[in-house]
Amino acid sequence: MSWFRRHPSATAYILLAPGILYLLVFYLYPTAQMFLVSLWTGSPETGYALTGNFGIYPEALAQYSEHLTRSIFYGGAATIVTFLVGFPLAYFIAFRGGRYKSVLLFLVIAPFFTSFLLRTLSWKIIFADNGLALGPLKDAGLLPDTFRLLATPTAVIAGIAYNFLPFMTLPLYVALEKIPPNLLEAAQDLYADGWQRFRRVTLPLALPGVFAGSLLTFIPAVGDFINAELLGDPRSQMIGNVIQARFLRVSDYPTGAALSFILMAAIIIGVLLYARLVGTEELTGGTT
Amino acid sequence: MTDQGSIDLRAMATDGKAVRALSRRRMLQLAAVTGASAFLAACGTAGTRTPGPSASAGRPSPSGSAPSVGPSATASPSDTESPVPGASTSPSSEPIQQSREPVTGNFRFANWVGYMDKAPGNRFPTLERFTEETGITVEYSNGAVDDNESFYTVDLEGPLGVGEPTGWDIVVLTDWMMQRLIAKGWLEQIDTNGLVNYPANLLDQYRSRPWDPDNTYAAPWQSGMTGLGFDRAKTGDLDSLEALWDPQFAGRMTYLSEMRDTIGLSALRLGFDPAALTQDQYDQAVAEVQRAVDEGLVRQLAGNSYVDVMDLGDAVLAIAWSGDVQGLLVPDQAADQDFVWVLAREGGMIWTDNMGIPKGAQNKAQAEAWIDFYYRPEVAAVVEAWVNYVCPVKGAAEEMLRLDPALAENTFIFPTEEMRARLHEFVSVDLDTAALWEEAFNDAIGL
């Protein structure tokens, strides 16, 4: 016991060891491996050799820039949708939830008890061209017969937003929940009206939640491929679909791996810029 | 992947039509395929070693409800009783199921949807009958194969590439894929020692395939045709491949994700012979597919799951496999749907799917017992009458006609000479060219 007391930093490392080991084995090693794969040349039939073919990066980027920008656009749009839906939801639960708070929070997470895949597949039934949702509207003459939701970019973005909504809502809720009521009272005492109170007190204090929620949504959303595969058409496939097809249909591992790194780099750059713009001191380690 | 019994999609929607539209089986088939891909894409180059068949169909049926197919049920015990002289001199070989000690246990069977006769309650009568006769249970995965290329990369390439068993004992794949597996040495030889029906009952036209001349690796399962599948109530009568490029059906058509089917039809439409396709003709055929995609004509490119999209009514016209329409779509169709399959006047594709035993399969003897069982004419006849494809088993035609004389008129099972003249195989190209073509096809379809 006393040894640990005399070596506080050793204690920290011992506590960190499982996490570090985990990252080494399941993140750094595969990432390094994948990086080497991206530098292979060859074909599945003739075998591959590590040739240090860095030229594959500009090639892959040029060939699939359209998919990349599309993915960033879809991911960004979905993040905005989740924010627009998630913020009022989190606000309501945090400030008006009362004794139903935990029930409401449970309801936000409830869809997660069903497989991601099945929930997305069920959209295919619900939003079929003449299905539960669109059929009656078309029968009533509110929509033209040729209207469709599935196999469109709208469906892909909506599907992503639907699937990632809790990732936005929960951090927002945590941030809003933390706001001390006396700060709001103080604002009121200083003659702030409702809107000013929201804009000058609530929103700034919720920013860490906005930041965390949008990152948690945006990063996986850009790489998502299930929604595009199930709800999109051939023209709305995302970079994740291309990576999947490169690995699983064409067995072109180098291009698949290179695209994975390009995607990673694009996301990291985007996130750093975002952190510069919106990031709060609380998140970057400063003191409030 | 999920157990087929554990999810009730009926709970997802109350409207009868919507529920019927995407039946449980097909939904799960789709789920299984995408699920496997999702998992793999997440973890990189490795393949799944345990594919986890989603249905265990071959349970012994205690109710004794297996279908009776005439007097033939008594034929099987004799199979297991005839000893093979001299077989015992090869000590290293595995026990041969038919002749010496009959094996029990189970085997795992990866197949496409609509490829096995099915009874209400998700039961597969022929598999049940096999289990009753042999005591071997079948872990049957209905829809484990959605298209050849995906099954190859997801289920086979990873484990076989490092010499591990795949977890499957029988896989059903198309000729060109079997050819690739044979070339890679990834299939077990079917040990016909002591088998009574295979290859004895194999029709002669399957005996001279250059890539498997002695039928040691690939036991034909079904042959079938690729043509136009459509909902006549919505499209009217169609008989030309032009329909697949008709803007009238924009966004309501599906093409197959099998390059050879989709490009084959595209080539036929342009007047090329798919069996002798040149690089230049291939490029033109791909360009036409690309145009259809770019102009938004194609709603989706899918493997066998195209039947779901049609069933829901989201697609009214598809590049379709002959038996699917009759076997999967017609029995399920709504009052306002009228599904038909037509061999286009420009022609169509013909192909054969085969049973193969992946290298290192752990239940090889059981798999061989199954192959022999299927090659019994009256067994094949029952499967055939349900799946509506062309049967490779000698004597099955006669059995089928005995079962139901009306089947003689069924051109899915018995294509006419006139139809046969319009059917083409896809050109066999070397593996590198095939890879390039596959890549060009993927580019064209937005991937």
The ipTM estimated for the assembled molecules is 0.85
Search chain B and give the residue with CA nearest A31.
Answer: B44
CB-nearest to A247 from B7, B19, B41 is B41
Residue B312 domain-assigned? yes
Q: B248: domain CATH number?
A: 3.40.190.10
**Domain of B323, in residue numbers:** 225-351+422-444
Question: How far, in Å, CA of B387 to CA of B393, rounded?
Answer: 14
pLDDT band at A90 (very low <50, low <70, confident <90, very high): very high
Closest CB from A34, A125, A243 relative to B22: A125
State whether B308 and A124 contact (CB < 8 Å).
Answer: yes
**B153 in reach of chain A (CB within 8 A):** yes
- Residue A124 CA to residue A237 CA, distance in Å, equals 17
Whether residue B13 and residue A45 make contact (CB cut-off 8 A), yes or no, is no
Q: How many domains does chain B have?
A: 2
Chain B residue with CA closest to A120: the answer is: B31
- Cα–Cα distance between A271 and A211 in angstroms, integer? 10
How far apart CA B223 and CA B172 sit, in angstroms, is 12
- Extract the tokens encoding A267: 């996301």
pLDDT score at B43: 37
Q: Which residues, 6+ apart, have CB-to-CB distance to A46 below 8 Å?
A: B432
Q: What are phi and psi of B423, to 5 degrees?
A: -95, 140
Q: Is residue B1 part of a domain?
A: no
Using DSSP, state whether B174 is helix, strand or coil. strand
pTM recorded for the entire structure = 0.80
CB-based contacts of A246: which residues, under 8 Å, 6+ apart?
A252, A253, A255, A256, A259
Which residues touch B192 (CB under 8 Å, ≥6 apart)?
A: B198, B199, B216, B368
* pLDDT per residue of chain B (447 residues) written in tens, 0 to 9: 333 333 333 333 333 333 333 443 444 444 444 444 444 333 333 333 333 333 333 333 333 333 333 333 333 333 333 333 333 333 333 444 445 357 889 999 999 999 999 999 889 999 999 999 999 999 999 999 998 988 998 899 889 989 999 999 999 999 999 999 999 999 999 999 889 999 999 999 899 899 999 999 999 999 999 999 999 999 999 999 999 999 999 999 999 999 999 999 999 999 999 999 999 999 999 999 999 999 999 999 999 989 999 999 999 999 999 999 988 999 889 999 999 999 999 999 999 999 999 999 999 999 999 999 999 999 999 999 999 999 999 999 999 999 889 888 899 999 999 999 999 999 988 888 988 999 999 999 998
Please report the domains of chain A, with CATH numbers, ordered by start residue: 1-29 (no CATH), 61-284 (1.10.3720.10)
Is residue A201 packed enough to be buried (19+ CB in 10 Å), middle (13-18) or exposed (0-12)? middle
Whether residues B141 and B219 fall in one domain = yes
| Residues B266 and B361 occupy one common structural domain | no
B374 occurs within a structural domain: yes
The answer to whether B403 and B391 have CB atoms below 8 angstroms apart is: no
- Name the residue type at position B435: A
CA torsion angle B101 B380 B306 B438 (round to 10):
70
Q: Is residue B389 part of a domain?
A: yes
Helix (H) or strand (E) holding A50: strand A47-50
Q: What are phi and psi of B426, to 5 degrees?
A: -85, 140
What's the maximum distance between 2 C-alpha atoms anywhere in chain B? 68
Measured CA to CA, the distance from residue B189 to residue B186 in angstroms comes to: 10
* Residue of A27, A114, A129, A163 to mutate for B, most B C-beta atoms under 10 A: A129
As a whole number of angstroms, the distance between CA B150 and CA B153 comes to: 5
Q: Does residue B314 share a domain with residue B389? A: no
Same domain, B190 and B218: yes
Nearest CA distance, B9 vs chain A (angstrom): 9
Q: End-to-end alpha-carbon separation of chain B, Å?
A: 25
Q: Does residue B171 share a domain with residue B103? A: yes
Same domain, yes or no: B160 and B49: yes
Helix/strand/coil for A150:
coil
Whole-angstrom Cα distance, residue A190 to residue A212? Answer: 31
B334 in the same domain as B385: no
Contact assignment for B18 to A118 by CB distance below 8 Å: no
- Alpha carbons A134 and A127: distance in angstroms, whole number: 6
Confirm if B426 and B434 have CB atoms less than 8 A apart.
no
Compute the distance between CA of residue A268 and CA of residue B296 in angstroms, rounded to an integer.
Answer: 33
Angle in degrees, 0-180, between the axes of helices B125-134 and B364-374, rounded to the nearest 10: 120
- Tell me, yes or no, whether B357 and B380 share the same domain: yes
Chain A: residue whose CA lies nearest to B39: A244
Q: Quick one: pLDDT at residue B104?
A: 85
Same structural domain, B143 and B255: no
CB contact under 8 A, B296 and A115: no
- Residues B171 and B295 occupy one common structural domain: no
Inter-chain touch B34–A226, beta carbons under 8 Å: yes
pLDDT of residue B45: 35
In a domain, B416, yes or no: no
- Do residue B301 and residue B396 come from a single domain? no
Q: DSSP labels for B299-347?
A: EEEESTTHHHHHHTTS-SEEEEEHHHIIIIIGGG--TT--EEEE--TT-
Question: Of A271, A193, A250, nearest to A63 (Cα)?
Answer: A250
Q: Do residue B282 and residue B245 come from a single domain?
A: yes
Confidence of residue A239 (pLDDT cuts 50, 70, 90): very high
Instruction: Decide if B91 contacts B158 (C-beta within 8 A).
Output: no
**B312 in reach of chain A (CB within 8 A):** yes
